[in-house]
Amino acid sequence: MSSSTDYGSHTWELLLTVDHQHEGVEKEFLLQVTGDLHIGGLMLKLVEKMNISQDWSDYAFWWEQKKCWLLKTHWTLDKCGVQADAKLFFTPQHKMLRLRLPNMKTVRLKVSFSTMVFRAVSDICKILNIRRSEELSLLKQSGDTLKKKKKKDKNSKEPVTEDILNLCNSPASSGLPANPGLYSKTMTPIYDPISGSPASSTITWFSDSPLTEQNCNVLALSYPNCSPEMLAEMYQPRSLADKAKLNAGWLDSSRSLMEQGILEEDQLLLRFKYYTFFDLNPKYDAVRINQLYEQARWAILLEEIDCTEEEMLIFAAIQYHVSKLSLSSEAQDSTCESEVDEVEAALSNLEVTLEGGSTNNILEDITDIPKLADNLRLVRPRKLSLKAIKSYWFIFRDTSISYFKNKESAQGEPIEKLNLKGCEVVPDVNVAAKKFGIKLLIPVADGMNEVYLRCDNEDQYARWMAACVLASKGRTMADSSYQPEVQKILSFLQMKNMSAQAPSDPESVDMKPECFVSLRYTKKYKSKQLTARILEAHQNISQMSLVEAKLRFIQAWQSLPEFGLSYYIVRFKGSKKDDVLGVSYNRLIRIDMATGDPITTWRFSNMKQWNVNWEIRQVAIEFDQNVSIAFTCLSADCKIIHEYIGGYIFLSTRSKDQNETLDEELFHKLTGGQE
C-alpha cells in the first residue's frame, strides 16, 4: 500500500482548458498526471473526464506560454517540458480565417492553424483553385497601412457591411487533405480558354467542392471598379520608405499561424509574394490569372509601382476593356461548352506552352549565328556636365555589344565591348516625342556602369531591346523566344502610340475614367480628357478576348522597370546611413534612399552562400570574386529577407516535368534558417 505522500510525489495537477461550444459544460478541468504520460494519453484522459460525445479528432493541445502546438502525441509530458504551471488549451487545429484576395474580395474559410504557413497556403489555393501555391503567401497588414482607412471610417456615419464569400464547408475543415476540386491537370479544360469564364457543367463533377459556379465567377471574373473616393481612402505609398512598409508583414512560411499570433476570424491578405509566374495557362488558370491581374491592377492604381503617363493610359484602356467584357453577357455565358478530347487538349497545351516555332526555325537557330548591326547613338552620363551623345556603329553578337567609330572600322578592334549578361535593362521610351532609348546598368566591381543607347525608330528599338533583355538572362538571339519578345515590344509600342494620339472629344460613353487611373491623373486631367485618351488607347485592343486582355495587362506590368522589386530599409555593415534593399527574382539591388538611384546590384547566380546571425539579426551573403555583404533589416524581421532569397532560389528549381509536385523539405531547408 502506498501512502498519500508517495502518491503526491509522483503525480501532479495540470489545468486544461477546452475550447468547445457546449453550453452549461465546464471548460476547465484539473487532471492528476505523471511526467511519463504521453500527449495522446492526456487527450484520452481529458475526453473521458469531459464525457461529451463529439468528434475530437481535429483537436490538439496549444501551449500558451511557449506559443507552440504539442502535436507529437507519442511524446511524454517530461519530454515536452510540460510542468504544473503550464497552460494547455485543447482546441481545434482548423479555425475560421478571413482572407482578403488580390481582387479585394474577402473569403471566409477554415484553415489549419497548426501546420506551417507554406502547407496552409497550399491547402487554401486548392480550395480557391489557384495553381502554383508556392508563388503566394499570407501578409499581415501593418498598422501604418491601416491608419488612413481607420481615420476615414471614423468620419463615416453609416457602418460599412462587407460582402464576404463564405467557404466554410471546405474539405480542409475536417483536417483531411483538401479535395482537388476544380484543380486537375488531367481533365478536359475546366474554363473556356477564350473568355476565361468557368465552364458550368464541370461544377457538378465535384459536388463536395465549396466552389460553386457563382463563387467561381467571383474569383475568376473582374467586377466593376471601385469609386475614386474609395481609392482615395486606401493606403498609397509616397516614397521608397512607404513601399518598404508594404512588405513588412509577410508571415514566416516555416511556422504555423497560431505561433505567429494569428487568431480565429483574423483577416490576412493572400498575395502573390514571388514574382515568377510559372506556366500561366488560360485553360487551367482562370482564377490565378484573374487574381494576378487584380494584384497588378491595384499596384498600378495605388502607385505601388511607378509608370509613365503613356503606360498609365494603356493600363487604363485594358482595365476598361476587361471591365466591359466582364459585365457583358458574352463573357459570363458559359453554357456553350466545346467538347475537347483530353489528348487534343494536351497537344494544344503543348503547342501553346512550347516557345519554339517550326522545325525550319530550329534548324536556322543551329546553323546561323544571329547578330544585329546598326548605327545607334551612345549616351554616357557625365557628372557636373551635359550628357555626351555620339553616333557609333554597333554590333550585337551572342550576349555582348561592341561598338566602332564607323561601319568601315568594324573589322578591327572595337572601341569597347559590353558584356550584358547579368545587367539591368530599362526601357527609356516616349512614343509621342519619338524617343526610343535603352538604359543599360552593367555590374562592375565598384557598382554599376550606366550606358544609354538611342534608337531611330520603333522597329530598331524592338530588335535591340529584345536582344538586350535576352542577353541579360544569358540567352542569345538564337533562342526561340527572341521573335516573340520583339513582337511583344512592338505591340506594346503600338498601344503607347495609340494612347499618345491627340485626344478627340469623346461621344457619350458610359465610362468613369477616374476608376482606371491613379489619383495623380484624376487631379491632373478633367474626366472628359481622360475618357478621350483612354478610348484612343482602347482602339488597339478592342478585339481582344477577356483572358488575352488580362494576360496583356500582366505582361505590360512585367515590363515596368520596377516590376518584381520588394523593398526593405536596411543598414549595411560599415555604413552610417540607411539604404533601401530591393529584392527581385534574380538579384538584390542596393538603392540610395534619398534619390532612389541604384548603387550596386548582386545577382543570385553569383551567390555562393547566405546565412543569418540570429543573435544580432544580421544577414550575411557571399558572392563570387570575394565579394561579401552584410546588413541588418530595419523595416522588417531579417527572416523575411532570408526567406525571400531562399524562396526565389527554390522557385528557380521548378521544371515542367515535376508534374506540379513540390519538394517542401527543400523549400524549408532554403528558407527556414537555423534560428
Helix (H) or strand (E) holding 77: helix 77-80
Model confidence pLDDT, tens digit, residues 64-105: 999 999 999 999 999 999 999 999 999 999 999 999 999 989
Q: How confident is the model at residue 182 (pLDDT cuts 50, 70, 90)?
A: very low
Q: Which residue has the higher pLDDT, 72 or 362?
A: 72
Q: Does position 290 have pLDDT exceeding 90, yes or no?
A: yes
pLDDT above 60 for 285 = yes
Confidence of residue 467 (pLDDT cuts 50, 70, 90): very high
Cβ within 8 Å of residue 100, ≥6 positions away: 106, 267, 268, 269, 270
pLDDT of residue 359: 40
Spell out the residues 6+ positions from residue 264 whose beta carbon is closer than 8 angstroms to its own.
95, 96, 97, 113
* pLDDT level of residue 382 (50, 70, 90 thresholds): low
Q: How far apart are CA 131 and CA 142, in angstroms?
A: 28
629 pLDDT more than 90: yes
β-strand pairing of 607-613 with 618-623:
antiparallel
Q: What is the DSSP string of 446-509?
A: TEEEEEEEEESSHHHHHHHHHHHHHHHTT--TTSTTHHHHHHHHHHHHHHHHHHHSPP----S-
Return the C-alpha cell found at 280.
500561366
What's the whole-model pTM score? 0.78
C-alpha–C-alpha distance, residues 388 and 375, integer Å: 16
pLDDT bucket at 353, cuts 50 / 70 / 90? low
Q: Residues with Cβ < 8 Å from 193, sequence gap 6 or more?
A: 282, 283, 547
pLDDT of amino acid 41: 95
Which pLDDT band holds residue 674 (cuts at 50, 70, 90)? low
